[in-house]
Structure 1
Amino acid sequence: MKLVRFGESGAEKPGVIDAEGRIRDLSQHVGDLAGKEIDPDALSRLAGIEIDSLPLVEGTPRLGPCVAGTGKFICIGLNYADHAAESGMDVPPEPVIFMKASSAICGPNDPIVIPRGSKKTDWEVELAVIIGRHAKYVSEEDAMDYVAGYAVTNDVSEREFQTERAGQWTKGKSCDNFGQIGPWLVTKDEITDPQNLKMWLTVNGETMQDGSSATMVYGVRHLVSYLSQFMSLHPGDVISTGTPPGVGLGMKPPRYLKAGDVVELGIDGLGSQRQDVVADA
């Protein structure tokens, strides 16, 4: 299934995409795409619903982030061998973990907001893993039992804030509208191999990133298991698994976003996003 949340920010309703690409209203069956509603067993029950019997959502409503109730937005750094190379860094011996504030989360087509004082706002297409049930000390063998599905995310990053100011990466990753998630939460049964998905991103129609999750150093199973050794993972938590090469930081000379730019990105089977770039007021 391809699950969506639609409506104004803070008042989204759950929906599902039908065979013709239209949104059907799921709110008579689930309150929201959060908590126990995205447990893999609950999603299996939802799959039994006759989608064409659900109310059709008219028009083109705003899409919200495809999962609600996210407590942790966990990111993995330098997780693509080719991206590590363009960054001039070695592949890490263990996954590099950092957090992105949950307040950065927004809808897939909501604008990228360049924060005040920003000089180096950058883009990163990433595969997001959505956790569906409580996970603690899980094995790699069992890791997929805890996954609800996948989504596209743009791990927007302010590189000066991230790497040139004192402290850790979090403040360069957590500005408002730095975490577009969606358009859909695609249940894991629809993705045969999350380690073989084409990923792309363009700025003003020019291809910047053209990669594949096949070059991911630490795969989905490993990451879910690894993270669960250090912290409990809860339903709605998001793991953003790293980006392929082609970010602005890696260009010669580096290139960054400015107001008026248009960013588009997508992953095979998971849909696409489109964002206008605006300056914060």
Structure 2
Amino acid sequence: MNLSGCYSLENKENLYQVLKPASASTHRTFGQDITNLILRPHDSDKIDSQDPQRLGYYAHEIFAYLHKVENNFQANFGYLKAQFEINESMRSILIDWVIEVHLKFKLMPETLFLTVNIIDRFCEAAIVSRHNYQLLAISALLIACKYEEITVPDIKSLSFISDHTYSQKEILAMEGSILRALHFNVTVTTPFRFLERYARLIHMDNLAFNLAHYTIELSLMDYKMLKYSPSQIAASSIYLTNKLYNNDSAWPQILIEESPYNDTDLRACAKELCLNLQGSRQSPFQALFKKFSLPRFCEVAKMVF
């Protein structure tokens, strides 16, 4: 039999099934090895050990590392003091617009958080004129899309959303300026990634998750929230959501074990998130309220507590 053309994984597995000795009766599924026995992962991680994208059997170590490095590439609260032409109000207007564009292009949640991160960090590293502030946002979105998305909006579309205020050449030039200023460091850990982890550990339902998601996106609009680390914002959103639902424990033991926080560490941040949530209906910036009033987000913005 000529097997020279059997190069696919499927064919090799089939061949193994034929040739394996009769004594080899143990069925080994993906990720079920001695690592699981040593780490004794939580139930959700055991389930995720079957998923090569989630790597459940390494999740504890991965997020322990992310907690250590999460602040390496975050803007510091107070950076706007060094800017001459932009201020906190202008930042809110810009982020509100970015959220609308992000929704229009149907982009991934991480893309939005990375875009805002890039905007803040560039403004911390360089002086930005009022005229170029929107250009910065467009180019930051382009970088984030290239990093996170499978399909990236073309330059013509990005120029169009600014009413052709900026040419394609200007967008690309700003992209280069941003990457040089940030030393090409665009691998960052955002609140959304931590939110996914915490919510999965406590088996949070879809409605509660979307409410927590809403609160962390509201934090993007609030310049003061830069005082807190990404994981603290995510943890506080879980804490707040559990409080609003009157759950027995706002910060369960499993989350104490899997994060650097206990409930007392989260109360100040959760209070600010709650104030943002309560003020979202009356806010002059309505992009997030409209977004999270959509059925796909369980219309959590319309909920009254």
- Larger RCO, structures 1/2 (Cα 8 Å, 6+ apart): 1
Give the TM-score range, shorter chain. under 0.3
TM-score scaled by structure 2?
Answer: 0.24
The structure where helix makes up a greater share of residues is 2
TM-score scaled by structure 1?
Answer: 0.26
